[in-house]
Structure 1
Amino acid sequence: MLKKIEELSTLCGVEACAIVYSSFDQEPQIWPSESGVKNVVEKFRAMPEWKKHKMGNQESVMEKSIVKGKRKITKLEEENKEMEITMFVFQCLDKTRVQPPHNMTLPDLNLLSSVIEQKLNDISRRLDFTDVTDIVDTNLKL
């Protein structure tokens, strides 16, 4: 463990120290040295309280990670629902297998409506662009 702390300190350019108590040894193992540990501990004690809290502890770091993970799951669920609705719209247009997704709710139907509206707007923009391109091509040929 002391070797890993030394590597972490060297590779990341951070000050670190360790005190390891073992039931096999009467004296604790200290890294880098007793004076090195005192130096790091004094620097930590000298920090303002708000900075110490900002650093957080393992529990707060895990809580933040869980919240972030839950947000990511919610976002992915929304994206999956939108892709499912979009696939349903394309199946309807293709007339292959028109079967609505299971248990469509009112929010699902609202999403279906917005997806259809978005696709119609995309088609309209493409048609407008195609018309402009045709006009420009015709004028260039003249």
Structure 2
Amino acid sequence: MTRNKVNYALIEDDTKRKISYDKRLKGLLKKTDELKTLCDVEVATVIYDPYRNEPYAFPNNNVVRNTFIKFKELPILDRSKNMVTREEFTKKRIKKLEEQLQKIRKENRVKEMTNEMYELFNRKTHSVDMSTSYLNDLRCVIKKNLKQVHELMIKEADGEGFTSNAPQPIVEPMLSSRDNFEGTMDPSPLLF
């Protein structure tokens, strides 16, 4: 049986909220105990809720008190090592999302230039007044694709691209001299 997707919002019905609270509290305490047992760490959980007059301490009050005392006795640097404020967390998250956005923009630009390259090869119309940055991006994409084609040709000529054990026919390279192609080659003569 599959679970229904839970909408994370305050449950308005008091009885449903209490039932959900009890189930999740039981699961949280089970996970806490598993963490303590499996990783051999000291764990203390304090829960304030509207259903009890005093806070719920797991595993018991003495363990919780001792754990917090040890924590308070740590030097400030060690104590705050893995702690972040909401502002720091938000800044880190924004930075990470900006990096992802830049990566996606770059990928989209390469795809756009690849499509433009294919349109040029198919002699579709193109703008005469292209900017130098646009032409440079297009040149880079064409160079990259030429390099990939060259590597595939070398693999095929060396027999690396074949999977069967049967003898393969020798394929003549398309260029008369493969050695001359290994240097950097200006792709512009191949475009027109």
Cα displacement string for residues 80-121 of structure 1 (whole angstroms, at most 9, x for unaligned residues):
1111111211122234x5457xxx764333211211222233
* Aligned equivalent of 1:55, options 70, 82, 104: 82
Structure with the bigger percentage of helix: 1
1:115 aligns with 2:141: yes
Superposition TM-score, scaled by structure 1 size: 0.68
Using CA pairs below 8 Å that are at least 6 residues apart, which structure has the higher relative contact order? 1
Identity score, percent: 22
Per the alignment, residue 78 of structure 1 pairs with: 106
Per the alignment, residue 39 of structure 1 pairs with: 66
Provide the alpha-carbon RMSD of the alignment. Answer: 3.3
Task: Check 1:132–1:106 CA distance in 2 against 1; reply closer, same or farther (3 A cut).
Answer: same
SS in 1 for 2:42: coil
Is the 1:5–1:18 Cα contact (8 Å) retained in structure 2? no
Mean CA deviation greater in 69-78 or 42-51: 42-51
Superposition TM-score, scaled by structure 2 size: 0.53
State the 1:133 CA deviation: 4.5
- Give, in whole Å, the separation in 1 of the partners of 2:118 and 2:72: 63
Paired residue type of 1:85: M
Per the alignment, residue 29 of structure 2 pairs with: 6
Task: Check 1:47–1:130 CA distance in 2 against 1; reply closer, same or farther (3 A cut).
Answer: closer
- Give, in whole Å, the separation in 2 of the partners of 1:63 and 1:108: 33
Structure 2: give runs of 5+ residues left out of the alignment. Answer: 1-23, 160-168, 172-192
- Give, in whole Å, the separation in 2 of the partners of 1:52 and 1:82: 46
SS in 2 for 1:55: coil
Structure 1: give runs of 5+ residues left out of the alignment. Answer: none
